[in-house]
Structure 1
């Protein structure tokens, strides 16, 4: 927001702070209580996992839940939030703020788990990623700038469930040529391409359209740094990951052997 003198006023609304806090508590409860209960109830192999795999299993379960909630909310905003779509830099960010607040609560929750269970799931890359994301989302939540672009980046979360499912199949012992693993691999590659690669022209065309305009120059220097640089870096990594993912998918599809539907016994597929 701006004063009459054009000075940016940085404020966090009580609602946004409450949503972020509620999100943090909810994802902590999902990790410690809901995931162990649901996983043990519906997946016999879960109870046979070692402590390290159990920690990561619950973490990935929470990650999947977050991805589905935030990703679907993003699609809704892209389709129906006219204010954000018409003014991608300063459009009414109320819905985007709520979605970003949910993500910030999740990122704080996940960072706490990463630090607490560092020997099992600790990863410097994820800590850096979470801190960079929180820095970028600070400008969205406090000033309300760049709501369209913040929301657009979160659409990428829709590829997360298939990535996590690949790990679930692997830790349960599903062979790569099993039907569930093959189907998930194709879905993972397709979803990753759709929400991270195919959308790049749309994203950067909107960025180019607003670059140099009056709304663009109202964005603070820190906001531009959190927007433009990380966007290019992230998409370079997305292209590299897409290349590796596509090669892996093609290699499995072309490899000899029959596709089998595995059955799990004692945590392994037979």
Structure 2
């Protein structure tokens, strides 16, 4: 059984490695320099933040930029990339590989930032998430397999802008019941469910449907087990985050209803 490796893909591997390196450098530049300048221009509140808050702010700016890029490209691959749609396990697409490479560069960059500023933004769950994802993406890029599947999983990044926006609003002291906070909170919950939770049943149904196929057998034991284990770990974390987000959203909506009820009672008494 022959698995396509780096030596079989001279031109492709150069593009992939170059993209990973370029992505890593770009996101480091964005974190250390561009975000400081841009954020100070667009938000007066940014300049009043303490150093620790500015570190997390810049980290979330980078996260938002990354998620928008790979989320949109992943959506294109998912809907329109003929090569990988025709063969989700072995289909080869330059765009699909480039998108995975962009994410790999971002994950390495973010791990560096987390380690450098561990006391400020250190989070063991993010380290687990990043390392698990990097391992899976390494196999995709090394062996040229599961490119469609990897890009399908990257659709989850489309929820990150709303998650980050919630943090920005809280940091800028927007009232919890402000329109911006409420709308973003509801949108965050809905989008998170659509791109991270709703795809779980069809994804594992698809995985199961491939198990007895020749294409699946050619993947080899390492990739077969890695495919299942990495996705399972990430989905357990997604479910945990979904529970926290849902509880927070329901709590806010409940408090809003309670506040409106109290207002009606007070208005009734005044009348």
Q: TM-score, normalised by structure 2?
A: 0.89
Report the Cα offset of residue 236 of structure 1. Answer: 2.9
Report the Cα offset of residue 250 of structure 1. Answer: 1.9
SS at match of 1:8: coil
Conserved? CA contact 2:90–2:146, under 8 Å: yes
- Structure showing greater radius of gyration is 2
Conserved? CA contact 2:140–2:150, under 8 Å: yes
Distance 1:237 1:117 in 2: 23
Matches within 5 A, 1:30-109: 30-109=30-109
Considering only aligned residues, what root-mean-square deviation do their CA atoms show, in Å? 1.4
Distance 1:209 1:95 in 2: 26
Aligned to 1:111: 111
Structure 1 window deviating more from structure 2 (159-168 vs 126-135): it is 126-135
Distance 2:239 2:115 in 1: 29
- Indicate the structure with greater helix content: 2
Aligned to 1:155: 155
| Structure 2, unpaired ranges of 5+ | 261-271
SS at match of 1:183: helix
Which protein, 1 or 2, shows the higher relative CO under an 8 Å CA cutoff with sep ≥ 6? 1
Distance 1:251 1:179 in 2: 16
Q: TM-score, normalised by structure 1?
A: 0.89
Q: Deviations over 1:47-102 (max 9, x none)?
A: 00001100000001000000000000000001111211121110113221100000
Change (3 A) 1:236 1:108: closer
Conserved? CA contact 1:152–1:203, under 8 Å: no
Distance 2:209 2:148 in 1: 13
Q: Deviations over 1:27-57 (max 9, x none)?
A: 1111111111111111000000001100000
Matched, 1:224 2:219: no
| Structure 1, unpaired ranges of 5+ | 1-5, 259-270
Matched, 1:10 2:12: no
Matched, 1:26 2:21: no
Distance 2:32 2:190 in 1: 32
Conserved? CA contact 2:115–2:122, under 8 Å: yes
